[in-house]
Amino acid sequence: MKRILVSGGAGFLGSHLCEQLVEEGNEVICLDNFFSGSEQNISHLLPSSNFKLLVQDVSIPLSLEVDEIYNFACPASPLLYQRFPIETFKSSVLGSLNLLELAKSTGAKIFQASTSEVYGDPLLHPQPESYFGNVNPIGPRACYDEGKRSAETLFFDFYRQYQVDIKVMRIFNTYGPRMSATDGRVVSNLILQSLQRQNLTIFGDGSQTRSFCFVEDTIRAIRLMMASPKEITGPINVGNPTECTILELASLILKLTGSSSQLYFLPQRTDDPIQRQPSVELAKTELSWQPTYQLKEGLLKTIAYFESFLKKDVC
């Protein structure tokens, strides 16, 4: 049994990981200040003797004995991080620094949930890990993009200077149950609007692309990377390389929900990437990983979750 700290453990990805780690018999400490996470995501774990909740901001140093650390602590919602840019940047930079200091002092292995946003609005397509990106450092999304880029810098500096055992993964557009209903991300937005027979909001003309990866595939990749040999540090891209336009996504969601909602077009958001598609060759060769869920299959599970969410909300 391992003692594992999951920072941001009450969030979308963190809660799925906590659940799996507890089921495997590990002692899990969930660190979260509920800035973007939800106690509802982990309420089913609270009765377990192997699960502990530590309510604290990751930007505050902490001291405890752990074997492994997973860092998910940072708002991923564009609406939230653009509303609170300084808090977002601090969670990425100060949070990473504090967790790396903890890993250094305890000898723990540490995982960083980085993001496809480090590539910005890419000029290279698809995006390999060797690509340095095209990020606007002073734009409204920079608090998240540059925060995650700075976190990666810290991870590799701790690896080089202190030989900390690091794992850095760049995650592309994960979706699935437990996504926040209010975080403004495209999958949750379109599903909720469709289920509630509202207009489906499309920013720009809908030709921009994303590569959507179901949460179970992403969690499997995270576990494989954490179990990989020490020399595999990353960064490694994880996502579904099947590219999809926002219009195609909206059309599929309308079909799967049987909704009669109409499309409603708004101006393109500032610095919103036009194309997003990962190269996952490194994940295939170093982790023996590739996604298994088709978009339709994952969307059906996500739609079922939001249908249940809306029924509870009504009650």
Q: Which two tokens stand for residue 202?
A: 């499309």
Q: Which two tokens stand for residue 172?
A: 């592309």
E runs forming strands in 131-173: 166-171
Catalytic machinery residues? 144
Q: Give phi and psi for 266, each to the nearest 5.
A: -125, 165
Reduce the DSSP state of residue 267 to 3 states and report it. Answer: coil
Q: Which two tokens stand for residue 121?
A: 């609005």
81 contact partners, CB below 8 Å, separation of at least 6: 74, 75, 88, 141, 143, 144
- Distance between CA atoms of residues 164 and 103, nearest Å: 7
User: Beta partners for 120?
Assistant: 134
